[in-house]
Structure 1
């Protein structure tokens, strides 16, 4: 079992949560293929809206990978991103700044945004548990089960 961060605007994350899917890196298939059923993903949203600069800087969704397939989905003619099915949990948005000193995947605390530059990254279970506890009030019970 692995633990991931995906990066997307809150607006885009909300679409995924409503539809039970994730897209990463503007619809690329490869990041989705790195994940397996039973893995977990937390979304970090640097902005509220994709095409605007209003900062969000919060963890905005958490879910378990349930779909074994990475599949294309035509959002509109000429744009066919790839998706993967996720079971999202009801969670609270959590600001990142109060957690910066505790998150091990953020190496340079002064340049913390650098960690998110590729749009998808694996994080250690300790970081996942810290963020999940803040978002859910607890750690999901099945995160230690082997699938």
Structure 2
């Protein structure tokens, strides 16, 4: 693995992506997804359970590996009565358990600088290999899976 990424999405939307084998970020925009390559690590951080939700979650909710080099657009409208067709990337999701940010905050490169939370507003940002390795070790359900390309 050469690169890793962090997507910032509600936990409810993360579950849709995990069930469907894809990642979607930045309200379905393509640009950030095009920067990813097959074999890159990918983690989701969920500030809340639902988009715009008032109850904070503040947890890492999914972890996987980008499965191929193709960004694709969802077939048909995602919501009835709309023309919203978001862009996505295929991800091979690992079997992981949710990890509260507070349990690893003091050990992540991501949170080591002042105002680190402001970067999360971008919706997608590079994640250090140190951080994705730490998340993998802490989130793995059962045995720690090896990083492999899908």
Whether the TM-score (by the shorter chain) exceeds 0.5 is yes
- Cα separation, 1, equivalents of 2:116 and 2:103: 12
- Cα distance in 2 between the residues matched to 1:11 and 1:79: 18
- C-alpha displacement of 1:139: 5.0
Change in CA separation of 1:35 and 1:139 when aligned onto 2, cut-off 3 Å = farther
TM-score for both structures, normalised by structure 2: 0.87
TM superposition outliers: structure 1 runs of 4+ over 6 Å? none
Q: Report how many residues are paired.
A: 144
What SS is found at the alignment partner of 2:88?
strand
Scaled by the length of structure 1, the TM-score of the pair is 0.89
In the other structure, the counterpart of 1:24 is: 25
Structure with a larger share of its residues in helix: 1
C-alpha RMSD over aligned residues: 1.9
Question: For 1:68-93, what per-residue CA distance to the aligned partner results, in whole angstroms no more than 9, with x for missing partners?
Answer: 21111131332111011111011100
Q: Following superposition of structure 1 onto structure 2, how do residues 48-87 of structure 1 map, counting pairs within 5 Å?
A: 48-73=49-74, 74-76=77-79, 77-87=82-92
Structure 1: which 5+ runs fail to align?
none
Cα displacement (A) at 1:142: 2.9
Cα 1:116–1:19 shift into 2, 3 Å: same
Q: Separation in 1 of the partners of 2:88 and 2:68?
A: 9
- Which consecutive residues of structure 2, in runs of 5 or more, have no partner in the other structure? none
